[in-house]
Amino acid sequence: MNSKTLSALRSIFAHVVLIILSFMCLFFFYILFVNATRSHADLQKGFSALPGGHFWQNLKNVANDGTFPMIRGILNSLIVSGSCAAICTYFSSLTAYGLYAYDFKLKKIAFTFIMAILVMPTQVTAMGFLRLITKMGMYDSLLPLIIPSIASPSVFYFMYSYLQSSLPLSLVEAARIDGSKEFRTFNQIVLPIMKPAIAVQAIFTFVGSWNNYFVPALVIQSKDKMTVPILIAMLRGADYMNFDMGKIYMMIMVAIVPIILVYLLLSKYIIAGVTLGGVKG
């Protein structure tokens, strides 16, 4: 068997594997779409691979439900998730840059402290966090869902690792010699280099905040301030005997559209990360 035949077989095998993986990834989205087009009665009959004819009816039922503020919930989730993604990536990048570019006595201690916070689950500090925001007058508002995203140890560690591989300190020193201020150096030199890493973490942070149920359920009480996960849970548990499964699938499908759009908008920066970034020596 010559090299051309082996190369062709490898190519065919790779394409088959990719097709199977793509099918496995997209199949569940297709089933979600199919279920969103079926009525509650049709869904009770069992699985179907063919779309139904109740798509617009289910959408109208969700949008016109007076007890279920769908549009407001999506807007709240967009505000919270977008703000979290922007704040988290910027300040985590700034913190990572500070620990990477500066040498001070407590540098190792600060890094160890941040890493120690990384292993602490949110549930451990939930009651203390709830008491704190209540005393600060931020209970039942969107601020407690946004402000804590400033401190994200996992994003910090990712940014720190990226800086170690992509940012030579000689570039920072050259900017200082040229008279560039520290914030100007970070905003105009370091951030463009970190654009692929920021895009990746922006997607993860946006999706994590969008899907977050525990903290919003803990601090939000008013319906006009609820986010999408709370509304979906409320729709499912409003009346166990009379809930409409078609409405639930429709709401879930509507809820994943912004996530797909954010990924499509930022994915080009992830791909660009293969060639971006660096400073050629």
Residues 209-228: tens digit of each pLDDT:
998 888 888 898 888 888 98
What totals of helices (H) and strands (E) does the chain contain, helices first?
15, 0
Burial degree of 157 (CB within 10 A; 0-12, 13-18, 19+): middle
Q: Does the predicted TM-score (pTM) go above 0.85? A: no
Single-letter residue type at 278: G
For the ranges 61-75, 78-92, 162-176, 184-198, which has the lowest average pLDDT? 61-75
pLDDT of residue 236: 67
Q: Which residues contact 181 (CB under 8 A, 6 or more apart)?
A: none
Q: Mean pLDDT across the stretch 28-55?
A: 84
pLDDT of residue 16: 92
Q: Which two tokens stand for residue 137?
A: 């007058």
User: Do the beta carbons of residue 229 and residue 222 sit within 8 Å?
Assistant: no
Residue 106 has pLDDT above 50, yes or no: yes
pLDDT of residue 281: 38
Percent of the chain's residues with pLDDT above 70: 91
Q: Tell me the per-residue pLDDT of 129-172, one tens digit each, with 9 for 90 and over.
A: 888 898 988 888 899 999 988 888 889 998 998 888 888 888 88
Averaged pLDDT score across all residues of the chain: 84
d(CA 1, CA 264): 42
Q: Mean pLDDT across the stretch 64-93?
A: 87
Query: What is the enclosing helix (H) or strand (E) of 251?
Result: helix 245-272
Q: Which residues contact 165 (CB under 8 A, 6 or more apart)?
A: none
pLDDT of residue 279: 40
More confident position, 231 or 123: 231
Q: Mean pLDDT across the stretch 162-190?
A: 87
d(CA 126, CA 203): 25
Residue carrying structure tokens 């999506």 = 74
